Structure 1
């Protein structure tokens, strides 16, 4: 059954400039909490990074909005702090999740920090092809069992990603 996993990252905006740990082939990727360069690569991270799993688009969007609202007073951009911006983003998130799409929210915060709130589709993920395997999921499944099920699939997916990366590097 199609579902979405929620992920957040709050850290230094400077960490976003370090590409290495944001790529699956990098030795620090697995334990780095910084946002991967490709959003679908969140699915390759350890299950402990998953902050929630939803089959209902409204519940997923509500979680997305709650995480963003926790930091809204610190948004660095006046545009992002406008009262109508976040509700519109949450409404768009609900529509995107209903369509099986990923949702990403990224905001620079005061103090040179960056907040990322992501909802990543799983079962199957729409793009790219190496993430198309659908882990088993049923509504009401415990978070730990969901994470374990998806983790088993991610182990094989990571091997596919690494093989693809190695082929690209050797062809270059």
Structure 2
């Protein structure tokens, strides 16, 4: 297993466009899904997005945690409800992420930002992924 980190920041209202956030069933033409900038509904479906959407592929869980902490820290001044986030705390988030990733479970942090914004920070387990038998996006050649 290895890890891929993804992020998305945008208007929270855009997340309502669920049709763009789900791959076609039965599996068919993925072009529209892959081209959409929106985050998928399921974390495992990030693996269907182009490899260019990968922010980094950390070699260890610890490095994935560092990526999460860095991205969280960058977004923190824009949190819509900083007091609520403080109750959860970064340390607890990182501890849960460590346990999840070590057990092969994807991690998704979704946080509302000021002015209707939303940020998704995602670490996806790849090859294998617990929820989908997708090839590694780094091995896909089509856009």
Same fold (TM over 0.5): yes
Residues 87-126 of structure 1 correspond to what in structure 2 (within 5 A)? 87-126=91-130
**84, 87, 91: which one aligns with 1:79:** 84
Q: CA RMSD in A?
A: 1.9
Deviation for aligned residue 1:84: 6.0
**With structure 2 as the length reference, what TM-score do the two structures score?**
0.86
Q: CA deviation at 1:35?
A: 1.0
Change (3 A) 1:83 1:62: farther
Query: Unpaired runs of 5+ in structure 1?
Result: 136-146, 156-172
Mapped partners of 2:99, 2:57: distance in 1: 17
Consecutive unaligned residues of structure 2, counting only runs of 5 or more, are: 25-29
CA gap 1:70/1:83 in 2 versus in 1, 3 angstroms: farther
Q: Is the 8 A contact 1:105 1:117 kept in 2?
A: yes
Structure index of larger Rg: 1
Greater RCO structure (CA 8 Å; 6+ sep): 2
Quick check: 1:13 aligned with 2:12?
yes
Relative to the length of structure 1, the TM-score reads 0.72
Greater mean deviation of Cα atoms: 23-32 or 88-97: 23-32
Q: What is the CA-CA distance between 1:91 and the residue it aligns to?
A: 2.1
The equivalent of 1:148 in structure 2 is 138
Give distance in 1, aligned partners of 2:70 and 2:100: 17
Q: Which runs of 4+ in 1 moved over 3 A?
A: none
3-state SS, counterpart of residue 52 of structure 1 = coil
**Counterpart residue number, 1:167:** none
Aligned length: 136
1:127 is aligned to 131
* Cα distance in 1 between the residues matched to 2:129 and 2:9: 24
Deviation at residue 83 of structure 1 after TM alignment: 7.0
